[in-house]
Chains A and B, each alone.
Chain A
Amino acid sequence: MRHLMRPLDFSVEELDRLFELAEDIEKNPEKYAHACEGKKLATCFYEPSTRTRLSFEAAMLNLGGKVLGFSDANSSSAAKGESVSDTIRVISCFADICAIRHPKEGAPMVAASLSSIPVINAGDGGHQHPTQTLTDLLTIRAIKGRLDNFTIGLCGDLKFGRTVHSLINALVRYDNINFVFISPDELKIPEYIIEMLRERNIPFRETRKLEEVMPELDILYMTRVQKERFFNEEDYVRLKDYYILNKEKMKLAKDDMIVLHPLPRVNEISVEVDNDPRAVYFRQVQYGVYVRMALLLTLLEIKV
């Protein structure tokens, strides 16, 4: 029995198989419509995350399975003081697989160590969110047709954004990836990631200006610059507009460049960009469902 705790739990070869399955699901959804009949997914969400939870539930429903669960700690036995260790042993009696989100880092790991069913980490605090990384990788692979040989720009909050860190760690396993980090000085990529890239001789550059690098990019991964990360309002106001992606900036980009965003978007991508065929962030959400379907089938060891 396997669990998914971290984005790098699967080898590159295992990811290839997972993505092939997800792409087959995209092409032939009817073939998989009854694959999980009689199976139940428990979504144990100790903190609200509507999109991730609904994505998991949609994935199971698309496979013909059923879902049960709770969507915040107050409506679960955690409010009565039950430990994650006890909850997972109880849930193991109700469901065949479990997706767990918890504000405390490592909570899904505790669950997995005691569970008799596969456990998926659906986000634990600022620590890991592996299915977001799988979603990002599948989106790139499905639209660009490859996971190697490209220049990717990561823009916005590169200091605290865990999706960005996970994606970098996942991409360094592929050949010939060139990273461009676009952020204000206050939100630069952490030193340990820079060190890792240097050690592996992976090309990267850092810049504060998005316009400068737009023409080079094959992929632009946007994130939100959060107001609460700044020490003062002035800095925030000064910097936030650097990173608003609008039609003007899109004019500088290649015709086949794609824009990804883990969502929710606030104002960092102007709505006028939404109709640009290169803006794929809503398709990315759809790929999130496909990759979760493939993940459920893989962890449940169901072959179609």
Chain B
Amino acid sequence: MLNVGKIEEGFVLDHIKAGKSLSIYKHLGLDKLDCTVAIIKNARSEKMEKKDILKVECDINTLNLDILSFIDHNITVNVIKNSEIVQKLPLSLPKEIKNVLKCKNPRCITSIEQELPHIFVLTDEKKEIYRCKYCEEKYSDTDLL
């Protein structure tokens, strides 16, 4: 089995659905960071059979938890200091997300007014449904920016 070493300071995103790590890497903007990032795909997991893991060696404050929660709030966020887990951050669905999704409704005002922020609001917590703040179009998987 492949071994990836411990990180000294930073955070580990564990229990990512297998195959989702690259998408999370992109949406969290990790590609723009000048720090060590390890992307582990298809790691063995008792709970999930297969999972992805992201290890990031930088300050936890650079992480946008809202985006992460929106993508998958079942991910475990471990904060690492001196190579030890010092905190587990709980994720919950954000009430509102800004400029993460793009409204695809061609009749929406955001389709003609480019400067408007794309805001989606959580309208049904149970069913995890987000809707465009302006036209109320439902979010779908293809709407991620």
Q: Is A106 a contact partner of B134 (Cβ separation < 8 A)?
A: yes
Does A71 make an interface contact (CB < 8 A)?
A: no
Given A125-B107, A126-B107, A106 and B112 contact (CB-CB distance below 8 Å)? no
Q: Is A85 a contact partner of B105 (Cβ separation < 8 A)?
A: no
| Shortest Cβ distance from residue B32 to the other chain A in the assembled complex, whole angstroms | 29
| Cα distance, A6 to B111, chains bound together (Å) | 21
Q: Is B135 a contact partner of A85 (Cβ separation < 8 A)?
A: no
Does A276 make an interface contact (CB < 8 A)?
A: no
What are the residues of chain B within 8 A of A127 when measuring CB–CB? Answer: 107, 135-136
Q: Is A105 a contact partner of B135 (Cβ separation < 8 A)?
A: yes
Q: Is A105 a contact partner of B113 (Cβ separation < 8 A)?
A: no
Q: List 18 A-B contacts (CB under 8 A).
A: A83-B113, A102-B109, A103-B107, A105-B107, A105-B108, A105-B109, A105-B135, A105-B136, A105-B137, A106-B109, A106-B134, A107-B109, A107-B134, A109-B109, A110-B116, A124-B135, A126-B107, A127-B135
What are the residues of chain A within 8 A of B65 when measuring CB–CB? Answer: none
| Cα distance, A83 to B115, chains bound together (Å) | 9
What are the residues of chain B within 8 A of A198 when measuring CB–CB? Answer: none
| Cα distance, A174 to B105, chains bound together (Å) | 32
| Shortest Cβ distance from residue B98 to the other chain A in the assembled complex, whole angstroms | 13
What are the residues of chain A within 8 A of B113 when measuring CB–CB? Answer: 83-85, 110
Interface string of B43-54 (1 = CB under 8 A from A): 000000000000
Q: Is A106 a contact partner of B115 (Cβ separation < 8 A)?
A: no
Residues in A65-109 with C-beta less than 8 Å from chain B: 83-85, 102-107, 109
| Shortest Cβ distance from residue B61 to the other chain A in the assembled complex, whole angstroms | 29
| Shortest Cβ distance from residue B117 to the other chain A in the assembled complex, whole angstroms | 10
Q: Is A109 a contact partner of B112 (Cβ separation < 8 A)?
A: no
| Cα distance, A83 to B110, chains bound together (Å) | 11
Residues in B30-81 with C-beta less than 8 Å from chain A: none
Interface residues on B, range: 10 to 19
What are the residues of chain A within 8 A of B135 when measuring CB–CB? Answer: 104-106, 124-125, 127
Does B133 make an interface contact (CB < 8 A)?
A: yes
Identify the 3 closest CB pairs spanning chains A and B, nearest first.
Answer: A106-B134, A105-B135, A104-B109
| Cα distance, A127 to B116, chains bound together (Å) | 19
What are the residues of chain A within 8 A of B132 when measuring CB–CB? Answer: 106
| Cα distance, A36 to B105, chains bound together (Å) | 39
Of chain A, the residue at the smallest CB distance from B112 is: A104
What are the residues of chain A within 8 A of B110 when measuring CB–CB? Answer: 106
Of chain B, the residue at the smallest CB distance from A103 is: B107
| Cα distance, A41 to B105, chains bound together (Å) | 31
What are the residues of chain A within 8 A of B134 when measuring CB–CB? Answer: 105-107, 109-110
| Cα distance, A102 to B113, chains bound together (Å) | 13
Interface centre among A103, A104, A127 (most CB of B within 10 A): A104
| Cα distance, A102 to B112, chains bound together (Å) | 12
What are the residues of chain B within 8 A of A124 when measuring CB–CB? Answer: 109, 135
Q: Is B109 a contact partner of A84 (Cβ separation < 8 A)?
A: yes
Of chain B, the residue at the smallest CB distance from A83 is: B113
What are the residues of chain B within 8 A of A102 when measuring CB–CB? Answer: 109
| Cα distance, A226 to B111, chains bound together (Å) | 27
Of chain A, the residue at the smallest CB distance from B137 is: A105
Of chain A, the residue at the smallest CB distance from B110 is: A106
| Shortest Cβ distance from residue B113 to the other chain A in the assembled complex, whole angstroms | 5
| Cα distance, A102 to B115, chains bound together (Å) | 18
What are the residues of chain B within 8 A of A105 when measuring CB–CB? Answer: 105, 107-109, 134-137
| Cα distance, A102 to B135, chains bound together (Å) | 12
User: Contact check: which of A85, A103, A106, A125 meets B133 at CB < 8 Å?
Assistant: A106
| Cα distance, A124 to B109, chains bound together (Å) | 9
Supplied contacts A104-B112, A106-B132, A107-B134, 9 more A-B pairs, CB within 8 Å: A84-B113, A103-B107, A105-B134, A106-B109, A106-B135, A109-B133, A110-B109, A125-B107, A127-B136
